Chain A
Amino acid sequence: MKEMSYEACQLVDAGREAFRPTEADRARLMTAITGAATLSVGIAAAAGAQRSLGGLLGAAHATRLLAIALPLTAAGAYFWHTNGQSPAEVQAPPAFSQPAAVVAPVRAVPAVPEAEAEEPSSEPNAPVPPERVGSSPAEAVKPGNEIRQEVALLSKAQAALSRGRPQEALEALSEHAARFPRGALTEERAATRARTLCALGRRQEAEAELKRIERLNPSSAYLARARESCGSR
């Protein structure tokens, strides 16, 4: 293949160097990303444990704990981790010597459904629900908010479905579809919608949704799970 000119090679070399993350970049983001994932798993496990404890603690107590734990999926955990509200096991990100203009802050993720965020908790050791971000007009158009908002809406739908409120889940899913018709999580939305329609007893619509997912991605793992949840083949 023909060699490129000196000028072109020089530009490519500049790109190879400039587009490489530094060790500080790696440390900062890896801590945030993997820490959030670990915390997310912990919270999900905690939610399961609280369900089991419902019988021991009483329904009201268990429900209150669930209301805190369930909405905190990866995105919610992310917020805690990066905003100093995290439990003790979360490590602080390393310090950096880069100037402020270079370091984009590890940013918050809005994931707590409005209903839960507004519900005051009387649990003394309960984590404080994070302040919602992205609600101002300036935040709403900030690049990156789109995916965080997608995650927040889907988390809201899934939490509602888990609490036995399929109508509420459907509303969140409709909002997701209207705002993000070509979003990054459309397949997950479709699968959750199928499960929600099943929960509402709207079998025909659920089947149509399942067929649509199958057409788009026949080997989707979401499809298998949605089918299992609906009890269909």
Chain B
Amino acid sequence: MATSPAEATGPAATTLADSGPLTVPSFQDLCGLYFEFVWKCARAFGSKSDEIDDVVQDVFLVVQRRHPDLKEGEHARSWIYSITRRVVSTHRRRRRENDARGAPDVDSLRSPEQSPLAAAERQREVRILSALLDGLEERKREVFVLSEILEMSGREIAETIGVPMNTVYSRLRAAREDFDAAAQRQRKSLERRRAL
């Protein structure tokens, strides 16, 4: 595939990757083209910052092993997406078991390159976002994440998850309503606590 990894870092790149001739990309091409996609998906579907390296590497480990299974004409993004969801789900299951044993939430330890105040505020927002995403029904979360966080178009989402465009849009509408309502409930709850 002619697209270099450097060109394939945003949502536009995933379009480029999947709208060209549907030949089977090499493993190295897949790594370059879908690294960011896999990372963002994993984070948005619940992988914490302290496990994201493991999750991304596990996804590409499975991609490498199953590469012969990727057929000409098949959408690589859709194939990688399903692998990513499965790997994230496995990690989350194990994480829940660990959390039940009292493991700390290491996500809160992340130190971005911002002022301490801005970093703390951003961490708070990300924790709220993750909690609200966890609260969405799974199918709504899926289209919400792909549309709002990964900024994919309706057509791209339809291709990736294998449902008609109308279904994508109806799920997205419902997901936005649910997310918005939850965000406003969260804000009111915060205001009440600050008023006390």
Contacts and interface: CB of A to CB of B under 8 A. Distances in A.
Contact of A14 (B51, B57, B98, B126): B126
A73 to B, nearest CB: 8
A220 B31 CA distance: 22
Given A105-B53, A144-B55, A17 B122 contact: yes
| Shortest 3 CB-CB contacts between residues of A and residues of B | A144-B54, A14-B125, A19-B43
A29 B106 contact: no
Interface of B: 5, 27-28, 31-32, 35-36, 39-40, 43-44, 49-58, 60-62, 64-66, 68-69, 71, 83, 86-87, 90-91, 94-95, 97-98, 106, 109-112, 122, 125-126, 128-129, 132, 148-149, 151, 169, 172-173, 176-177, 179-180, 183-184, 186-187
Nearest to A82: B57
A225 B54 CA distance: 30
A26 B132 CA distance: 27
B66 A188 contact: yes
Interface of A: 1-2, 4-5, 7-8, 10-12, 14-21, 25-26, 28-30, 32-34, 37, 40, 74-75, 78, 98-99, 101-107, 109, 141-148, 151, 154, 184-185, 187-188, 219-222, 225
Contacts of A221: 68-69, 71
Interface of A, secondary structure class, is: helix
A21 B148 contact: no
Contacts of A106: 53, 57
B141 to A, nearest CB: 12
A222 B69 contact: yes
A107 B57 contact: yes
A29 B59 CA distance: 12
A142 B52 CA distance: 13
B125 A143 contact: no
Contacts of A78: 57, 61
A184 B90 contact: yes
